[in-house]
Amino acid sequence: MARSSRSYDWGFPRWRGYEAERQAAKVRLCDRHGCEAVGDRPAPKSPNSPDRWYFCEAHAAEYNRNWDYFAGLTAEEAAAREERERADYSGFKEREYYGWGGPGDGSRSRDELNALKALELEDDADFEAVKRAWRRLAKEYHPDVKPGDAQAAVRFQAIQAAFEVLRKAEERRPG
């Protein structure tokens, strides 16, 4: 009986079984002198250099323990580099999808943040500060205090709406 040369991988080489190739697997050893472990963790040889060391996990951790990203830069240069990299923080950009969008700790909605802005408060103000600001601004812009002033009436309505948004949010907030 002749041996079949037919392959059952349907043209997809990755479907072949393990150890199907006859060639030796290429393994790079750790670049640390005397280490025989697999060196599969690249590390730069110097800042802004394309050359890499390849360490095992233990030696990569040792190498990175004292790594200072801003080594050799003045305080101004380090601040400029940090600002430039924060402008393009695309690796962390995905996180914004899950947030409420805007400043704060993510515990307030965009409507709540706009309401705080209408009451002239910071993003992290508690509800007691909201009440004080609402009373102060309501007394200042109330239509009885400024009769005939259309802008004051519009401002008063905005203050009332902002307080209602924050009051309802406070009621919904767990204990």
SS3 string, the chain, reads CCCCCCCCCCCCHHHCCCCCCCCCCCCCECCCCCCCCECCEEEECCCCCCCEEEECHHHHHHHHCCCCCCCCCCHHHHHHHHHHHHHCCHHHCCHHHHCCCCCCCCCCCHHHHHHHHHCCCCCCCCHHHHHHHHHHHHHHHCCCCCCCCHHHHHHHHHHHHHHHHHHHHHHHCCC
Domains (range + CATH), the chain: 26-71 (no CATH), 98-172 (1.10.287.110)
Phi first, then psi: give them for residue 102, nearest 5 degrees. 130, 175
8 A C-beta contact, residue 41 and residue 54? yes
Q: What is the pLDDT of residue 100?
A: 47
List the structure tokens of 96.
């914004």
Q: What is the pLDDT of residue 92?
A: 61
Q: What is the pLDDT of residue 12?
A: 63
pLDDT by residue for the chain (175 residues), tens only, comes to 556 666 666 666 666 665 555 666 788 899 988 999 999 888 888 777 788 889 998 888 888 787 777 788 899 998 998 888 777 766 565 555 555 445 555 678 888 888 999 999 988 888 999 999 999 999 999 988 888 889 999 999 999 999 999 999 888 877 6
What pTM did the predictor assign? Answer: 0.42
Q: What is the pLDDT of residue 154?
A: 92
